[in-house]
Amino acid sequence: ALARRAHGCSTGALLGRFGVLLQALLALCAFSTLMLKRFKEPKEERRPWRIWFYDTSKQAIGALFIHFANVFLSDLTEEDPCSLYLINFILDATLGMLLIWLGVKVVSWIVQHKKYTHLVFGEYGDPPQAAAWIGQCILYLLIMVFEKAVITLVLLIPGWKKLQQILLGYIPNPQLELVLVMFVVPFIVNAIMFWVVDSLIMRKYKQKDILNINGSIETPWTRTEESQALLSPDVDFDQSESDQDSSGLQGMNQKMKQPSYQVVI
């Protein structure tokens, strides 16, 4: 046991002063990727700050739940908590990611089938309502609970101890192991996961709120220059040869003021 402790984290190291500092730095760096993603979105599709906060805060709540669940589970046994945390994290980023995707799809289908409009991920009403955001947070947190429960059951399968020894057994310094487990690997993986999940649960503005002939309303930030061109009435600029006199010019001006619509069958 002493030899193992010389090459691994001690019990409680994840919640020690250095471990907490690494976790705070991880949270700051990881969530900065979501802000970067917002600025990388096309300008005409970029979410208002309030909508962006509603979308990303769901991920923040879910990520915090998963993180502290992993910390708690890693300290339950006498094994090296750093390697246990890393195994939990790797499973969350692989099998867990698939479970999250499946959970979002199933929940989205159910709420759309039941026509619970404000529980559709990314839909908050106009103006955005905090009640819709709270409801979606609860749904997303339930998906996280389901994901973590399945991962915990997977960890009960024998054979993980061998992988645990292989992953971090070559690192002699416990603090270096802590940096690797609590910052380097989670930052890289979380940045990818946050980007993917945000794209999964955000509202797809390109596919919604298109103005049609029946008079449905389009939200201001969803209309692009292309849609404006496609939705604008066709203006007939054609002029016959017989109208090329002064009276013809007046007739063309009247035609420009009265848009005509073309119906293609």
| pLDDT tens, position by position, 98-131 | 999 999 999 999 998 988 888 888 888 888 889 9
Among 70-79, 146-155, 229-238, which stretch is predicted with the lowest mean pLDDT? Answer: 229-238
Instruction: Name which of 113, 149, 120, 147 is nearest 135 in CA terms.
Output: 120
Average of per-residue pLDDT across 59-72: 89
Q: Long-range contacts for 84-91 (Cβ within 8 Å, ≥24 apart)?
A: 84/164, 85/14, 85/181, 85/182, 86/167, 86/168, 86/181, 86/185, 87/155, 87/160, 87/163, 87/164, 87/167, 88/151, 88/155, 89/181, 89/185, 89/186, 89/189, 91/151, 91/154, 91/155
- Of all residues in the chain, the percent with pLDDT exceeding 90 is 16
First to last CA, the chain: 80
Q: Give the per-residue pLDDT at 139.
A: 93
pTM above 0.75, yes or no: no
CA–chain centroid gap for 105, Å, is 13
What is the chain's mean pLDDT, rounded?
75
Q: For the chain, how big is the Rg over CA atoms in Å? A: 27
Contacts for 104-112 with beta carbons within 8 Å, 24 or more apart?
Answer: 104/140, 104/143, 104/200, 104/201, 107/139, 107/143, 111/139
* β-strand partners of 234: 260
Residue 200 has φ and ψ, to the nearest 5°, of -75, -40
